[in-house]
Amino acid sequence: MDIQFNSNEDHNKLEASALKKRLLKIYKGGGDKRIEKEHSKGKLTARERINFLLDKDSSRIEIGVFAGYEMYQEQGGCPSGGVVIVIGYVSGKQCIVVANDATVKAGAWFPIAAKKNLRAQEIAIENKLPIIYLVDSAGVFLPMQDEIFPDKEHFGRIFRNNAVMSSMGITQIAAVMGSCVAGGAYLPIMSDEAIMVDKTASIFLAGSYLVKAAIGENIDNETLGGAKTHNEISGVADYIAKDDYDALNKIRSIVDKIGSFDKAGFNRIKSNMPLKDEEDIFGILPKSRTGSYDMKEIIYRLVDESKFDEYKANFGKTLLCGYARIDGWAVGIVANQRKLVKNAKKEMQFGGVIYSDSADKATRFIANCNQKKIPLVFLQDVTGFMVGSKAEHGGIIKDGAKMVNAVANSVVPKITIIIGNSYGAGNYAMCGKAYDPRLIVAWPSSELAVMSGSSAAKVLLQIETASLKKKGKKISKSQEKEIFEKIKNRYDTQISPYYAAARLWTDAIINPLETRKWISMGIEAANHAPIEKSFNMGVLQV
């Protein structure tokens, strides 16, 4: 291995280590003292509940672990959005589990918590996955009620989705393991079956204090809406459990009896590991986001037996398209080629840039995958579409529109991995969040923005200095540099993968070595939902 490889390896492994440290801190939720407080009540924490519920030693992926990261600092923070969401296996069946984290503000709903819960339901709806709710929440975080209550994508949408999923035949099971108050009380009761834990669970539209204030009635919470009340008197709940373990075992028993599902029928054979060492990814991927590398070398370390059947290998070289298998699943890969390449006219083309010929090739390949019912995997390291008079006169907008159209109208599942840059319209064409990937995850090396921090700072600097000069102010070189660094630092913060993940623009930041698992479990989830419409790109300017 050369010096550059070793330098890259050191850098990327440090990034992976930093990711792990951040995750370990987030896994603590509200901290050790609050975890001890939950234990003193005879309760498990959200993560402990999920670990007990899921099949032992089975694969799992966590959605939105960085939700709320470094947000809500004035409110004391909101680790993981106060809710834990995992796709895993219960009694051998793939399910999505949503658990309120009572160690974070008593499980209260922040704006990002509502967005995260809606993402879980979106995944369940798209993939027709059974969804399990482990409820333990004090309700809406009242100081921020205006950002969570009234809008279309706010709190109420969750109950709307409960109703929609029920009509679609998607299994919903709820276990109330703590508080379940006000509007939140509808969630377990709109599920197919509801379990309540004796002595610790409660469901009511208004607690005892509010009841006293509203109608003058004196009553304690247990009598008002405890497990025995709702199992013996109101009939609101279906089962009573003696403790958390009993409730989770009841869920496992219910899921164990769910019948088989109609499959989409995606092709899968026996899985084989890549022949090339996955660990080499850390040395291949350059430290700098402007660095070049051969994306094929990354692909060879992600796909089974390192086999990649490239489509139109000598045409549109800044996009790689081809067929492969990942954990046995047949996939169509669309990936940005990051090294400099020459086109048919022997002209040098920039790596990571989408040219007209590349867009044309990708459009055709995406259509082929849709016709063959092959899931699509997008590997993003894109700086955008080519600009300039030559590109414009050659119809880059038209060709780019065709590619965007193909991505938008794809009926096969799409999974997006952001490896490096994800800039501008390149993000859209390579199936960014707006284009409905079933899962979208980022490596620690990724950046998401309209353009790079340096490019954006240069543009904004020109605007700001021009404005100051119009006011008659002279700007020295040192002042220009100071303004540039100030703008760049602010912009660099916003293009970080952690900034994106905190806002759920991505589902997770993952170690590159976890990529195969995420793709495989994503396709397995999608296989629950047969394709119900045909691929149609509509009107195009050819």
SS3 (DSSP) at 202: strand
Angle subtended at Cα 449 by Cα 448 and Cα 453, rounded to the nearest 5 degrees:
105
**pLDDT, greater one: 263 or 464:** 263
How is 480-493 classified by DSSP, letter by letter? HHHHHHHHHHHHHH
Q: Are strands 202-204 and 131-137 parallel, antiparallel or unpaired?
A: unpaired
In the numeric block, which tokens belong to residue 394? 């050659």
Please give the pLDDT value at position 542.
Answer: 59
Average pLDDT of the residues in 6-13: 97
Position 132 confidence tier, pLDDT thresholds 50, 70, 90: very high
**Residue 98 and residue 131 in contact, taking contact as beta carbons nearer than 8 Å:** yes
Tokens describing residue 295: 């994306």
How many angstroms separate the CA atoms of 533 and 530, rounded? 9
- Distance between CA atoms of 396 and 467, rounded to whole angstroms? 33
Name the maximum alpha-carbon separation found in the chain. 85
> Which residue(s) pair with 90 in the sheet?
93
How far apart are alpha carbons 302 and 325 in whole angstroms? 9
Question: Of 518, 489, 490, 491, whose CA–CA distance to 506 is shortest?
Answer: 518
180 Rama sector, left if φ>0, alpha if ψ -120 to 50, beta otherwise: beta
96 versus 146: the higher-pLDDT residue is: 96
* Nearest residue to 106 via CA among 136, 68, 65: 136
CA distance 456 to 492: 10
Tens of pLDDT, residue by residue over 498-528, are: 999 999 999 999 999 999 999 999 999 999 9
Q: 219: Cβ–Cβ under 8 A, 6 or more apart, which residues?
A: 208, 211, 212
Residue 212: per-residue pLDDT: 87
Do 522 and 32 contact (CB within 8 A), yes or no? no
The string of DSSP letters for 178-242 reads EEEEGGGGHHHHTSSEEEEETTT-EEESS-HHHHHHHH-----HHHHHBHHIIIIIS---SEEES
Q: What is the pLDDT of residue 464?
A: 79
Highest mean pLDDT: which of 287-296, 336-345, 454-463?
A: 287-296
- Average pLDDT of 82-92? 98
Task: Classify residue 205 by burial, with Cβ atoms within 10 Å: 0-12, 13-18, 19+.
Answer: middle
pLDDT classification of 1: cutoffs 50, 70, 90: low
Query: Is 153 a residue whose pLDDT tops 70?
Result: yes
pLDDT given for residue 353 in this prediction = 93
Between the CA of residue 133 and those of 53, 83, 116, 141, 192, what are the distances in Å? 11, 10, 13, 19, 11
pTM of the predicted model over 0.85: yes
Per-residue pLDDT tens over the stretch 293-350? 999 999 999 999 999 999 999 999 999 999 999 999 999 999 999 998 888 787 878 8
Digit-coded pLDDT (tens) for 396-438: 999 999 999 999 999 999 999 999 999 999 999 999 999 999 9
Q: Which helix (H) or strand (E) holds 9?
A: helix 3-26
Q: What is the pLDDT of residue 278?
A: 97
Read off the pLDDT of each residue in 265-273 and give the average, rounded to a whole number.
Answer: 98
Q: Is the pLDDT of residue 473 over 90?
A: no
Structure tokens at 458: 């240069």
* Phi-psi region at 173: left, alpha or beta (left = phi > 0; alpha = psi -120 to 50): beta
The pLDDT, as a whole number, for residue 491 is: 81
Average pLDDT over residues 64-89: 96
Average pLDDT, the chain: 93
Span 175-204, mean pLDDT?
A: 91
What tokens were used for 70? 């470094």
pLDDT band at residue 175 under the 50/70/90 scheme? very high
**pLDDT of the residue at 431:** 97
pLDDT bracket for residue 69 (50, 70, 90): very high
pLDDT at 289 over 70: yes
Q: How many residues does the chain have?
A: 542
> Residue 279 has what DSSP assignment?
G
Q: Which residues lie closer than 8 Å to 328 by C-beta, 6 or more apart?
A: 268, 269, 270, 271, 272, 304, 520
DSSP state of 231: I
Look at residue 121 and tell me whether its pLDDT is greater than 70. yes
Please give the backbone phi and psi of residue 179, each rounded to the nearest 5 degrees, phi first: -75, 145
d(CA 373, CA 383): 29
Instruction: Encode pLDDT of 102-117 as tens digits.
Output: 999 988 889 999 999 9
Structure tokens at 399: 């060709």
